[in-house]
Amino acid sequence: MEFTTDIFSQFDKKWALITAGKQDDFNTMTISWGGMGTIWEKPVLTAYVRTSRYTHEFIDREDFFTVSFFPDTYRDKLAVLGSRSGRDMDKINGSGLTPVPCENGVTFKEAEVTFVCKKLFCQQLAPENMPDDVRKAFYEKDALHDMYIGEVVKIIG
């Protein structure tokens, strides 16, 4: 598996879709917080998903999730998938992206690279362990984030 990037801009500037489920029953949403690195001698990708997201339910019940990055021309589509909930509408059919099955999950024909991740670890970010300014800025009105660490078992693209 080979992948080279500036990790500080990969999530923050490019954004990504995190997707869980099977081709006939999945959900996806935009993320811009995340990381890639190593733990327990494994290559891993870490994502942070608020417990209020519909996608959270899918990630929780599945053993795998995928994280897909797209060419910049798809940014408007990622903006829509990051502002509507699959709970309220069929946002995937309206997104203009083409879901395709991949090893242990779903990715999109338009993705330039997809990380297939096997769930290794999940833990909620505890408010009492956060700096006060972070807690006030990000969690006074919104649900907490669960941190998902996934072992990268395949890189497609």
Of 36, 82, 100, 151, which one interacts with ligand FMN (CB under 6 A)? 82
Of 5, 83, 98, 124, which one interacts with ligand FMN (CB under 6 A)? 83
In this structure, the number of other CB atoms found within 10 A of the CB of residue 97 comes to: 22
Cα–Cα distance, 49 to 69 (Å, whole number): 17
Least distance from ligand FMN to the Cβ atom of residue 67, Å: 11
Least distance from ligand FMN to the Cβ atom of residue 57, Å: 8
Least distance from ligand FMN to the Cβ atom of residue 30, Å: 4
Nearer to ligand FMN, 32 or 104 (CB): 32
Return the residue nearest ligand FMN (CB atom): 82
Query: Is 83:73 a contact under the CB 8 Å cutoff?
Result: no
Q: Tokens representing 93? A: 């059919």
Query: Is 77:96 a contact under the CB 8 Å cutoff?
Result: yes
Please list every residue from 14 through 53 that binds ligand FMN, using CB under 6 A.
15, 27, 29-33, 48-50, 53
Cα–Cα distance, 11 to 115 (Å, whole number): 13
Least distance from ligand FMN to the Cβ atom of residue 109, Å: 20
Judging by beta carbons within 10 Å of its beta carbon (0-12, 13-18, 19+), is residue 71 exposed, middle or buried? exposed
Binding site for ligand FMN (CB under 6 A): 15, 27, 29-33, 48-50, 53-55, 79, 82-87
